Copies of this chain bind each other. A is one copy, B any other.
Amino acid sequence: MQPPTLRDVANAAGVHTATASRALNPESRNLVNPDTARRVLRAAQALGYRPNPIARGLKTAKSGTVGLVIPDLTNPLFPPIVRGIEDVLAPAGYSTLIVNTDNQPDREKSQIASLRSRQAEGLIIATALLDHPLLRELHDQRVPMVLVNRRTEDLGVGSVAADDAMGVGLAVKHLADLGHRRLLHLAGPQTTSTGVDRLLAFREAVRRYDLDADPARIVVCDSWTEEAGAVALRSALDAGLDITAVVAGNDLIALGCYDVFAERNIACPTDISVVGFNGMPFLDKLRPPLTTVAVPHHALGQEAARMLLDAITSPDRPPRSVLLPPSLTVRGSTTAPHP
């Protein structure tokens, strides 16, 4: 039996094939009267019509796929972002090709080349560095692109991220309200917008709440990992810094602090309080449960996907940067300092 054709669908709906084609393609559906579009879609469904996106891809340069470039899916930050993206793209008729770069520029370059050779219609990028020549190159080639969880400098590209300044402000205010004066910020890599923005926000909040502003109270981690967090905390403790609370650049850096506490018999929170950033799953079951700045990652993914669909359909709309508000989740890792 032959599969139903576009002509069969058009006949069943009582419209021209050109109209049926426009109605069936999410890209052009808005060109068709909504009632007609619904009639065509219902006819297509009744007949079991299945368009061939590959053939459509060749004709219209629309592959119906979008590329998602992330450092590493096993970092618990990314699965909810990916789910949010897919939850918006799938109903819009798009599939998502995911590539992991492990933050290696060569790997990123070849992975993005592979996505482009599959004619991905746009890219959502979670690996952006502040200075990122490859992204500049893609932007110059007018590749539709959105950054998620990151922004980049001097590049007119849309981005969706958490409001880092607000998040760090919530963390520092919480600690200041508890009576802490001698904080340590374990900052993320300063090659990333999140690392820079959170550090600046920490400095600003320390000033606002009139806390000890010794520059030694900021240590920059080499990466966003447990290991780098542990190394940074050890170096601050070994330098003899007096610390009653840590504002970690992210939850993994905070987990690295837990490792150092165990090594050195430091009680958390009674000796040192810790606040994380992100709100990874299962933090409520840690020992102690981690106070953290919770970021709405699923919503970040949804917003990024919506912005990319916009960028694909309206390439001349000016890029915008969307910030979503985080919230503070207070748990057992923070308490008042020793009197």
Contacts and interface: CB of A to CB of B under 8 A. Distances in A.
A70 to B, nearest CB: 10
B113 A50 contact: yes
A51 B118 CA distance: 9
A323 B159 CA distance: 43
A54 B50 contact: no
A9 to B, nearest CB: 14
Interface string A172-205: 0000000000000000000000000000000000
A285 B255 contact: yes
Interface in A70-98: 72-74, 76, 78-80, 82-83, 86, 90, 95-98
A51 B50 CA distance: 27
A277 interface: no
When all copies of this chain in the complex are counted, the total is 2
Specify which of A95, A97, A111, A117 lies most central, judged by the most chain B CB atoms within 10 Å of its CB: A95
Contacts of A118: 53-54, 64-65, 95
B80 A74 contact: yes
A225 interface: no
Contacts of A288: 287
Nearest to A255: B285
B287 A258 contact: no
B287 A53 contact: no
B64 A73 contact: no
Interface residues of A, number: 46
A86 B111 CA distance: 11
A11 interface: no
Given A58-B55, A97-B95, A282-B255, A117 B287 contact: no
Contacts of A255: 282, 285
A52 interface: yes
Contacts of A97: 65, 95-97
Interface string A244-267: 000000000001001000000000
Contacts of A54: 54, 57-58, 63, 118-119
Contact of A50 (B58, B117, B286): B117
A86 B100 contact: yes
A196 to B, nearest CB: 27
Contacts of A64: 118
A129 to B, nearest CB: 22
A96 B95 contact: no
Nearest to A289: B287
Given A255-B285, A287-B287, 9 more contacts: A52-B119, A55-B58, A64-B118, A73-B86, A76-B79, A95-B99, A258-B285, A285-B286, A287-B288
8 contacts: A53-B117, A54-B58, A54-B119, A86-B100, A90-B114, A95-B115, A95-B118, A97-B97
